[in-house]
Structure 1
Amino acid sequence: MISITNLSYFLGSRALYDNASLHIKPGQKIGLIGLNGTGKSTLLRIIDGEYQPDGGTISKAGDVTIGFLNQDLLSYQTDDSILAVAMQAFDRQNALQKKIDELLHEMETNYTDDLVDKLGKAQEEFEALDGYSVQSRAEEIMEGLGFSTEELQRPLRTFSGGWRMRVMLAKLLLQKPSLLMLDEPTNHLDLPSIQWVEKYIQNYEGAVIVVSHDREFLDNVIDVTVEVANAKLNYYPGNYSFYLEEKALRNEIQKGTYENQQAKIRQTERFIERFKATASKAKQAQSRVKQLARMETVDAVIDESARVNFKFQFTTQPGRHILHLDDISKAYGAKKILTHADIRLERGDKVALIGANGRGKSTLLRIISGSEPVNEGRRQLGHNVSFSFYAQHQLESLNVDDNMLEELKSANPNKSEGELRGVLGCFLFSGDEVFKKIKVLSGGEKSRVALAKVLLSQANFLLLDEPTNHLDMQSVNILIQALDQYEGTYVVVSHDRFFVSQIANKIWYIEDEQIKQYPGTYDEYEWWMSERKAEEVASEGAVPKPQAAAPKPTAPKPSDTQRKELQQALKKANQQAEEAEAKISSLETQKRKLEAELADPATYGSNGALQTRQADYQRLTKDLNSLQQQWETAMMDVEELEEKLK
């Protein structure tokens, strides 16, 4: 279908591609992967004809049509409805519909055999092109991508960039090109829409090339992986998981070949050096020189698996209770997000907040941070909780005139330059790159700097809104490692299923205007949800169950006097819990200090010092156990009193 042969393309003196070749066959589903900056998007633009190669050829079959979803489409604006924009895919059908309408209008005042004949031919062609179903097909795809029926008539101009990109994707899917090229489509889709697109691509009859950093998306839709590396296109006949296994095998083979060749080169060089001045061996030495010059060298294997190896430190340890949202209600006009919702967050919780766009995930993060006011309810942070908030729009808050080192220094002035360089190294910035100004960085590079700042902030509670957007797979892997080492608490909004499966021990989702919690990993949550949906489907066709017994009468609501007494008791119980929590935190600090002293060999040199510290340690442990029981009792009283006040 398309043949790329000996492709060369240069950015200045840097070769993005050097004699690279690839053959795209009909119906293939290709995942194009590689580090940021290796030229993936550039290759798509070369195939589309927007960029011209510096060398090589690109041959296309005569009937090949190409549809290209790229980031430039975000700038397209119009007052036409999004349904009308999507239906621009049907050029011929639209032209025929317009002609049919004009002929019918003309026939109202000028009925002739010629007009009847023209109308019949236009209607026949329109029917052959399935013109009567194009609008329903467009509506089906638009709704699959997350648009409601009511939104289909809204002007494109009124939607944000991400939603406009969905309209452009719908238009491309309706065109059904023989080659569909998608550049980072999942960046603008929520989880239900990603799953819908997966199913669509799986059943798509044409060929597909997709650039994506979403591992699970690639595994579910592609059957070929093409890696852009070292200015070449490396072909792997399988999905992303196959690529990882196959590349590890290839690297092992390449490593052995490289080491053998290097040994042979050293041996040859020693021969040349030893005998180049010896008359009887000079000819042989010269022959070895030519042999080395003709040798096609094998590249060393580059280890791309970056490792995070710095320790995250807190200025203060929080108490057990990190956050309580109590009876929260939030609405934007008539649109309700949360209604009398409750949720608790405890120390050590690693939460992924998932679900469709428009349900209020980012709103909930802002409510947690305190930057979004609520209509009703109370937000309560626990003792010694300090948080840091990462969101895409906060990239704009980076000081564009700072270099990377200066920007990280502003987040943690106590870190030395060497320590800051170490952090930047973990986020793939090395050498003099750390002196690059923020204003010259790409979107992905700015994201990495902003994430590094958040992790350096010494906050014990993190809020991360779509942190993997614009990150390549290596950077996502770094973030996974960083969060795995992080000993604090976090809530992360993400649609990247692989990322979520690696970092979360609890799942939150918004349903029926409530914050629901699943106490397990994402893989466990997915299994539970599939079982739940299967039960719902089965129950729809099941015989109705006997009517349940009447519910027990609810307890009478407290009088105003009783409510006042309950509120005073609740205030006292909360105060007791907070006091106990503060004492627990103080004793835990003393206990850690004693443990360090007991681990010091110098302590064992003085018998009196050892006995004193052991006695102090036993006393502290006893006091801690007593305080923890007091805290638990107080919290049980709080929950009981809150229940009575409802």
Structure 2
Amino acid sequence: MLKAVSLSHHYSGDTLFAGVDLILSAGDRFGLVGPNGAGKSTLLRILTGQLKPATGHVRRAPGIRLGWFAQQVPDPDATVGDFLSAGLGELDTIRTHLADLEQALSRGEDVLTEYGQVQDRWTALQGWTAENRLAEVRERLDLSHLPDEAPLRQVSGGEQARLTLARVLLDTPDLLILDEPTNHLDAEGIAWLGDWLSAFTGGLLVVSHDRAFLDRTVTRVLELDGIHDELQSYEGGYSAYRVEKAKRWERLLLDYEAQEKDRTRWESDIARTREQAAGVEQSVRSGLGSDKIRRYAKKVAKKAKARERRLRRQMASLHWLDQPQTRPTLALAFPQEATPDEIVLQARDLTLHRGGRTLLEPTDLTVYGGDRILLTGVNGAGKTTLLRALTGDTPDGGAVDAPAGVSLLPPTHDDLRRPTTVRDFFRSHVPVYAEDAERLLEGYLFDDDQWDAPLRTLSAGELRRLLLAVMVNSRARVLLLDEPTNYLDFDSLDVIEAALREFRGTLITVTHDAYFADAVGHTRHWHLAGGKLLEQ
């Protein structure tokens, strides 16, 4: 279905990837992973024809229908109904044409022959399934509550992302290329998408940091690791990939250690030969050596140079291993204070509404120091609205008291595309000297060349890390995490999970990532449904 040959691309003079070859056929189910900034989205844009590679080319088989999903903002003037219907492709055009012809017939116009031809095409495309397909995808991706006439500018960023995914799936593609499709989906939506992809018979290439989703949907993992220029390939899903990657690392380390012993032996041999040659040469200069000794000295010196040249050629060859490298990981240092009997967050008669719906009936809440609360509920139930109310947004009723200080990690970064620099944004939220800000930012993988970068130039993952840096260094003892795994790479997730396991403050977490929820753990479980917050 798709063939890529010798692809390469560069960014700001640095090589993102080179020599990338890829063949994607019907039934192939590939997951593409790698650290933030390694070039995953760039590679997808090249494969879909959105971007030209620096070298190489991409070919798609004739007639192949490509479904391409990315985190992008659709036309804000389009309506929900028109945007989704366009995902039906030719069938949507046929439906509109039939409606126009039916009106013409009702006016007595002679269009019966054309109507019959268009209806035959509608039958060939199984047009009777259109309404059911639209209804199912809207229900499964939690879009049923959006009216057809609503303009896209009036729906949230998460709803726009789900609408875009729905449109891609409606278009009956032969080849699917998906960039983080599970962001903004709840557990039920992710389960439905996994079932849908399991029954999909075409080719699939998906970028995702949802580990359970990768285990369920892919049979091969491709990695842009930010170290090698080429794609690294692993059989199986996420779990198999992590096991095999660890084994490869161990083998590489053993090979490197053996090589270093060999190099040390060679360098010692060269040094001894040089010393021997120098001693003989000194004897010749002092008049103690014969012609035979002089010839021997030249031979020894030549041998030393030959061995040195051989060592240098070997070190420069493709078989000589660099010391195994890993990318720097995200360093987190959370505040550790916690008093179990201390009330750190309390709400009385808290009431929330949205769009005429009651998200939360009058409710009392008490949160104690050290509580680890998992907050669940379907999309639209009001989880994000509840977290914002606990952070300081004015509720529709009741009051919230947070004596310990609260810090919120939001699910999206829609409002952060600004000209403000990384350093200035950090210092506007964390009152420290510039030098201290730079030192702290380094712990979140921001190098000195990024301190003055405008926020609008950062990737989603980089914005996520910056928000984490602000949240952690605010020293708040209550952390509200709204879909914290969105946009983060596996290495960062591992470190964050480990840090949160050690955190002794208070956590309230909303997450669709089953791996993350299990790894961090929780002592309480709130479930929001039908306007009621139930303790489970």
- Which TM bucket (shorter chain)? 0.7 to 0.9
Residues 192 and 355, structure 1, Cα contact 8 Å, conserved in 2: no
Q: Counterpart of 2:263?
A: 265
| Residue segments in structure 2 that go unaligned for 5+ positions in a row | 278-296
In structure 2, C-alpha distance between the alignment counterparts of 1:502 and 1:378, rounded to whole Å: 33
Q: Counterpart of 1:244?
A: 242
Residues 381 and 528, structure 2, Cα contact 8 Å, conserved in 1: yes
CA deviations on 1:326-378 (whole Å, 9 max, x unpaired) are: 33333346311111323322221111212222211122123323422332x45
Residues 37 and 459, structure 2, Cα contact 8 Å, conserved in 1: no
Residues 186 and 379, structure 2, Cα contact 8 Å, conserved in 1: yes
Moved more, 26-35 or 401-410: 401-410
Residues 272 and 286, structure 1, Cα contact 8 Å, conserved in 2: no
Distance change >3 Å, CA 222–CA 490, structure 1 → 2: same
Q: Counterpart amino acid of 1:76?
A: D
Map 1:23-102 onto structure 2 (within 5 A).
Answer: 23-72=23-72, 74-80=73-79, 82-102=80-100
Q: Counterpart of 2:195?
A: 199
Q: Secondary structure at the match of 1:467?
A: coil
1:448 to partner: Cα distance: 1.6
Map 1:220-299 onto structure 2 (within 5 A).
Answer: 220-229=216-225, 230-275=228-273, 278-281=297-300, 282=302, 285-286=305-306, 289-290=309-310, 292-293=312-313, 295-296=317-318, 297-299=320-322
Q: Counterpart of 2:176?
A: 180
Structure with more contact order per residue of length (Cα contacts < 8 Å, sep ≥ 6) = 2
In structure 1, C-alpha distance between the alignment counterparts of 2:124 and 2:219, rounded to whole Å: 34
1:69 to partner: Cα distance: 1.0
Q: Counterpart amino acid of 1:357?
A: N
1:472 to partner: Cα distance: 2.0
Q: Counterpart of 1:360?
A: 382
1:19 counterpart = 2:19: yes
Q: Secondary structure at the match of 2:76?
A: coil
Equivalent pairs, count: 507
In structure 2, C-alpha distance between the alignment counterparts of 1:289 and 1:368, rounded to whole Å: 69
Q: Secondary structure at the match of 1:330?
A: strand
Q: Counterpart amino acid of 1:362?
A: T
1:492 counterpart = 2:492: no
What TM-score comes out, normalization by structure 1 length? 0.71
Q: Secondary structure at the match of 1:232?
A: coil
Residues 29 and 203, structure 2, Cα contact 8 Å, conserved in 1: yes
Residues 412 and 456, structure 1, Cα contact 8 Å, conserved in 2: no
Distance change >3 Å, CA 403–CA 9, structure 1 → 2: closer
Q: Which of 102, 126, 131 is the aligned partner of 2:127?
A: 131
1:225 to partner: Cα distance: 0.5
Residues 351 and 395, structure 2, Cα contact 8 Å, conserved in 1: no
In structure 2, C-alpha distance between the alignment counterparts of 1:140 and 1:123, rounded to whole Å: 24
Q: Counterpart amino acid of 2:86?
A: Q
1:88 to partner: Cα distance: 1.5
Q: Counterpart amino acid of 2:408?
A: F
Q: Secondary structure at the match of 2:323?
A: coil
Q: Secondary structure at the match of 2:222?
A: strand
Q: Counterpart amino acid of 2:196?
A: Y
1:30 to partner: Cα distance: 1.2
Distance change >3 Å, CA 263–CA 395, structure 1 → 2: farther
Residues 226 and 234, structure 1, Cα contact 8 Å, conserved in 2: yes
Q: Counterpart of 1:509?
A: 527
In structure 2, C-alpha distance between the alignment counterparts of 1:330 and 1:10, rounded to whole Å: 48
Q: Secondary structure at the match of 1:338?
A: strand
Residues 275 and 285, structure 1, Cα contact 8 Å, conserved in 2: no
In structure 2, C-alpha distance between the alignment counterparts of 1:406 and 1:45, rounded to whole Å: 30
In structure 2, C-alpha distance between the alignment counterparts of 1:96 and 1:251, rounded to whole Å: 55
What TM-score comes out, normalization by structure 2 length? 0.84
Q: Secondary structure at the match of 2:147?
A: helix
Distance change >3 Å, CA 91–CA 369, structure 1 → 2: closer
Q: Counterpart of 1:483?
A: 500
Q: Secondary structure at the match of 1:119?
A: helix
Q: Counterpart of 2:288?
A: none
Map 1:323-338 onto structure 2 (within 5 A).
Answer: 323-332=345-354, 334-338=356-360
Q: Secondary structure at the match of 1:37?
A: coil
Map 1:137-176 onto structure 2 (within 5 A).
Answer: 137-148=133-144, 151-176=147-172
Q: Counterpart of 1:119?
A: 115
1:434 to partner: Cα distance: 7.0
1:411 counterpart = 2:430: yes
Identity across the alignment (%): 29
1:173 to partner: Cα distance: 0.7
Distance change >3 Å, CA 347–CA 454, structure 1 → 2: same
| Residue segments in structure 1 that go unaligned for 5+ positions in a row | 519-646
In structure 2, C-alpha distance between the alignment counterparts of 1:169 and 1:289, rounded to whole Å: 58
Please identify the structure whose Cα radius of gyration is greater.
Answer: 1
In structure 1, C-alpha distance between the alignment counterparts of 2:99 and 2:477, rounded to whole Å: 66
Distance change >3 Å, CA 22–CA 170, structure 1 → 2: same
Q: Secondary structure at the match of 2:344?
A: strand
Residues 226 and 233, structure 1, Cα contact 8 Å, conserved in 2: yes
Residues 405 and 434, structure 1, Cα contact 8 Å, conserved in 2: no
1:190 to partner: Cα distance: 2.8
Task: Compare the two structures and name the one with the higher helix fraction.
Answer: 1
In structure 1, C-alpha distance between the alignment counterparts of 2:351 and 2:165, rounded to whole Å: 35
In structure 1, C-alpha distance between the alignment counterparts of 2:103 and 2:147, rounded to whole Å: 31
In structure 1, C-alpha distance between the alignment counterparts of 2:322 and 2:498, rounded to whole Å: 29
Residues 36 and 462, structure 2, Cα contact 8 Å, conserved in 1: no
Residues 180 and 207, structure 2, Cα contact 8 Å, conserved in 1: yes
